[in-house]
Structure 1
Amino acid sequence: MRFNGFKRKDFDVFKIDGLENRMEALINTIRPKLEWLGDHFSPTLSTLVGDEIFPHVAKHARRSVNPPDDTWVAFANNKRGYKQHPHFQIGLWETHVFVWYAMIYEAPNKEEYGKTLELHMDSLRSDIPDHFVWSGDHTKPDAKTFSEMTDEDLQQLFNRLQTVKKAEILCGIQIPKEKAIKMSGKETLETIHDAFIKLLPLYKL
């Protein structure tokens, strides 16, 4: 298989009603691309972080009623799972493609990481590009552009990571659907690769 980028039909999967029908379309349409991206970027990320990185394609196995509103492949230095570890993600909502560095609610060292982020607020301003976005919840599609965030906004995000059990932190890029559809496979891969490089300082912290 050759990766030709994301097409309108990939995003249209999330318009399909019913768990069974949407999952069938997701498995046939998007999942092969996510598996390809998983195999493609694992060696790259392993080299970048200096540790073996494994891909984990979302299976949505626990769902019994509600169909998934997004799907992804995650990358972590653990073969068995990614949720308890700092990880990278590539995925789709109906509205956009996302590329994240993430630490979600199941990670045991969130509090410590929140403190580390607070200490490095100044370097984050210079390391992370202004057009990148931040989020505190991986289950919602919205995120805040870094250039629009005050130090107080950042502080709040980092503090929440230390004090709230369900708190999460995600940073990365969002590519709007219409833009993603126009991008070639090569352009998409280059954009994802560039995002991962820019997100490295967060992983290394």
Structure 2
Amino acid sequence: MTQLIDRIRPKLNELGERLSPMLSGLCGETIYPHVAKHARRTINPPVDTWVAFAPNKRGYKAHPHFQIGLFGSHVFIQFAIIYESTNKSVFAEHALHQLDDIAKHIPAHYIWSGNHMVPGGDRQGELGEQGLRKLLERLKTVKASEALCGINIDRNDPLLLDGEAFVTKAEETFRTVLPLYKMAF
């Protein structure tokens, strides 16, 4: 936990401060950063940590949001609508009616996941319309379901050594998944 608090959390705070204004401009509303505190943990670190960006100052889980975080294997940059969101069915319904638009705007290498606690997922190009339809139908009907879409960057990718290039990649990714965010309203 000490390394997470001393080394990782300051970087997440910096990303939050740096990217919130850009996301606010993209979304047309104030977007607030929320860095994971892992308050119940004192010794054992979590398997992942993140900064989430949402239009609510008090929290992000109940809202469609953007995230930057990391597992031991990779960094992720993504749109997320998790099990606590009241907009899940709205997003699922809108997305189901716009599957063709999603296929046009979300690149084949972007990853879709149905569980924010598990690293990985399925590439847009491999998931196909039927796979995405299945994920969205589940999101619409299953209370504990989730939908996340974005990119994973391997922990050894040189991009992670260049702060400015990483911020540029995050901005590019958020612009790409912005239509998904807008489908949640």
- Please tell me whether residue 32 in structure 1 is matched to residue 14 in structure 2: no
Identity in percent: 49
- Please tell me whether residue 47 in structure 1 is matched to residue 25 in structure 2: yes
| Residues 151, 181 of structure 1: alpha-carbon distance in 2 compared, 3 angstrom cutoff | closer
Secondary structure of the residue aligned to 2:156 is: helix
The 5 A counterparts of 1:154-165 are 154-165=132-143
Secondary structure of the residue aligned to 1:150 is: helix
Q: Is the 8 A contact 2:111 2:120 kept in 1?
A: no
Alignment partner, residue 91 of structure 2: 113
Q: CA RMSD in A?
A: 1.3
Alignment partner, residue 130 of structure 1: 108
List alignment gaps of at least 5 residues for structure 1. Answer: 1-22
Q: What is the TM-score with the length of structure 2 in the denominator?
A: 0.95
Secondary structure of the residue aligned to 1:130 is: coil
| Residues 188, 76 of structure 1: alpha-carbon distance in 2 compared, 3 angstrom cutoff | same
Q: What is the TM-score with the length of structure 1 in the denominator?
A: 0.86
Aligned pairs, number: 183
| Residues 180, 56 of structure 1: alpha-carbon distance in 2 compared, 3 angstrom cutoff | farther
Instruction: Output the amino acid matched with 2:180.
Output: L
Secondary structure of the residue aligned to 1:155 is: helix
Q: Is the 8 A contact 2:159 2:166 kept in 1?
A: no
CA separation in 1, counterparts of 2:42 and 2:139? Answer: 30
**Could you say which structure has the larger radius of gyration?**
1
Q: Is the 8 A contact 1:180 1:188 kept in 2?
A: no
Q: Is the 8 A contact 2:30 2:55 kept in 1?
A: yes
CA deviation digits over 1:130-179, x for unaligned, max 9? Answer: 11110000000021111111211011100000111110000000001111
